[in-house]
Amino acid sequence: MATDIPGQVSPTTAGPVSDGAVAVRVEGLTRAFDGRPVIDRLDLTLRPGEFTALLGRSGCGKSTLLRVLAGLDRDIEGTVLVPKRRAVAFQAPRLMPWKRVWRNVLLGLDGKPQRDVAEGALAEVGLGHRSGAWPKTLSGGEAQRASLARALVREPDLLLLDEPFGALDALTRIKAQRLVAELWQRRGCAVLLVTHDVEEALLLADRALVMRDGVIAYETPVALDRPRAVGDPGFAALRSRLLTELGVDEPVPTGAVA
Is the backbone peptide bond immediately before 227 cis, with ω within 30 degrees of 0? yes
CA 145, 171, 177: angle at the middle one, nearest 5?
Answer: 50
The alpha-carbon radius of gyration of the chain (Å, integer) is 19
Q: How many CB atoms lie within 10 A of CB 118?
A: 25
pLDDT at position 56: 93
Residue 101: what pLDDT?
96
Better-predicted residue by pLDDT, 108 or 48: 48
How far is residue 216's CA from residue 40's CA, in Å, rounded to a whole number?
A: 10
Q: Residue 118's Cα: distance from chain center in Å? A: 21
What confidence score (pLDDT) does residue 257 get?
A: 45
Q: Where are the domains of the chain?
A: 1-82+197-248
> Please, which pLDDT band fits residue 227 given cuts at 50, 70 and 90?
confident
**Which residues 6+ apart lie within 8 Å of 174 measured at CB?**
none
pLDDT of residue 251: 58
Q: What is the dihedral of CA 50, 51, 57, 60, to 10 degrees?
A: 40
Q: What is the mean pLDDT of residues 29-41?
A: 92
Q: Position 98: which residue type?
A: W
Q: What is the DSSP secondary structure assignment for residue 250, as one 8-state letter? A: P
Q: Please, which pLDDT band fits residue 24 given cuts at 50, 70 and 90?
A: very high
Q: Which of 6, 162, 160 is nearest to 83 (CA)?
A: 160
Q: Is the pLDDT of residue 15 over 80?
A: no
- What does pLDDT average to over the chain? 87
pTM, two decimal places = 0.87
What pLDDT does residue 204 have?
Answer: 96
- Could you write out the DSSP letters of every residue in 219-247? EEE---PSSP-TTSHHHHHHHHHHHHHTT
**Please, what CATH class does the domain formed by 1-82+197-248 belong to?**
alpha beta
Give the residue ranges of DSSP H helices in 99-255: 101-105, 115-124, 140-152, 170-187, 198-204, 233-245
Q: Measure the CA–CA gap between 185 and 204, rounded to whole angstroms.
A: 11
Q: Which whole number is the average pLDDT over 215-229?
A: 93
In terms of Cα–Cα distance, which of 196, 159, 237 is closest to 57?
A: 196
pLDDT more than 70, % of the chain:
88
The amino acid at residue 227 is P
Least confident of 5-9, 53-57, 233-237: 5-9
pLDDT digits (tens, 9 = 90+) for 88-100: 998 888 999 999 9
pLDDT value at residue 20: 59
Cβ pair 93, 172 in contact under 8 A? no
Q: How does residue 167 score in pLDDT terms, banded at 50, 70 and 90?
A: confident
Average pLDDT over residues 52-73: 92
